[in-house]
Amino acid sequence: MTQDQKIKAKKILNVTTTVLFAVVFIFLVVIVVFSVVQRKAGKDVKIFGHYMFVVMTDSMTPTIEPKEAIWCKSPEEGDIVEGAIITFIAPSGVLKGQNETHRIEKIEYNTDGSISKIYTKGDKEGLPTDDWVLEEEDVKAVYVRTMPLISGIMRFVLEKPFVAYVVLIALPLILVAGLFIAGFVRDRLKKEKEEKAEEDKPQLDTLSEEDKKKLLEAYLAGVSQEKSVEEGEETLAETEKVDEGSSVEE
């Protein structure tokens, strides 16, 4: 790989890395902003077929911390079992009419094996069993995992919206734009430097006949000198061989 190819490959790698970083970061910010807007509108946030909820209370600590985002899926056969964490509309309590996320403590079944009653409870130590009884149809989603990075960004957006806008949107866009501009200016300066160096080289078309003659004489003199040196080295080598042969005969 030539030096120019190495420089080009490095440039492509730098640009690709910058673009990927920007895309991932913007994607995360868009998800958070979209989630905040949906929550304020009283709608569930659904991305790629999965739900994203924010647990606002401490009833699920230490499994899920307050204001932590969780990734959930629609319930499928076999998901609703004792010990599973589910999200549902709270029938009563502080979050009445809102999403509540608790663990299934006990399930009662009908004689045909279908679910009859679901009892839930928070993970926080000392909490009693919830005072409501759910049915299978009440289960909106089943917990999959927490989302630490999204949680951190979301807390920041909710607590300091203006600062979050500056830090998460304005500054990154300025940074990315600055990187692209710096790369453009660097490449432009390099190109101008190469063009100037090319212009500074003596061009045969612009030389007078006398200058051309001098250049030719200098070139021939150099070639003649190199040839003389080579002939001298060959003569010396032959002389050494003769001397070695004489020594052997004696």
Say if 155 falls within a structural domain: no
> What are 223's two structure tokens?
């070639």
41-96 confidence digits (pLDDT tens): 556 777 778 898 889 889 999 999 998 989 999 999 999 999 999 999 999 888 88
Indicate if the pLDDT at residue 232 is higher than 90.
no
22 and 61 in a single domain? The answer is no
Write the Ramachandran bin of 93: left for phi over 0, alpha for psi from -120 to 50, otherwise beta: left
Stretch (H or E) spanning 116: strand 115-121
208 Cβ contact partners less than 8 Å away, ≥ 6 residues apart: none
Task: Please indicate, yes or no, whether residues 176 and 221 belong to a single structural domain of this protein.
Answer: no
- Is the torsion defined by CA of 173, 175, 180, 185 positive or negative? positive
| Global pTM exceeds 0.85 | no
Q: Which residue has 């004792």 as its token pair?
A: 82
Closest residue by Cα to residue 127 from 118, 115, 135, 119:
119
The residue range of the domain holding 34 is: 1-42+160-201
Instruction: Check whether residue 57 and residue 18 sit in a common domain.
Output: no
Domains held by the chain: number: 3
Report the candidate in 86, 85, 70 with the shortest Cα–Cα distance to residue 35: 70
In this structure, the answer to whether residues 139 and 64 fall within a common structural domain is yes
Decide if 53 is inside a domain: yes
Same domain, 74 and 143: yes
Residue 202's closest CA among 186, 191, 218? 218
DSSP string, 126-194: TPPPPS--B-GGGEEEEEEEE-HHHHHHHHHHHH-HHHHHIIIIIHHHHHHHHHHHHHHHHHHHHHHHH
Query: Quick check: is 60 in a domain?
Result: yes
Residues 50 and 34 in one domain: no
CB neighbours of 232 closer than 8 A, spacing ≥ 6? none
pLDDT higher than 90, residue 138: yes
pLDDT bucket at 3, cuts 50 / 70 / 90: low
Which tokens hold the place of 132? 């409501």
Residue 207 pLDDT greater than 80, yes or no: no
58, 144: one domain:
yes
Share of the chain above pLDDT 70, in %: 66
Same domain, 95 and 173: no
Measured CA to CA, the distance from residue 134 to residue 90 in angstroms comes to 9
Say whether both 84 and 121 belong to one domain.
Answer: yes
In this structure, the answer to whether residues 55 and 142 fall within a common structural domain is yes
Would you say residue 149 has pLDDT above 60?
yes
Sign of the Cα torsion 85, 86, 91, 92 reads: positive
Report the pLDDT averaged over residues 34-39: 60
DSSP assigned state of 47: E
Read off the pLDDT band of 247 (50, 70, 90): very low
CB of 68 within 8 A of CB of 155? no
Residue 154 domain flag: no
CATH of the domain at 57: 2.10.109.10
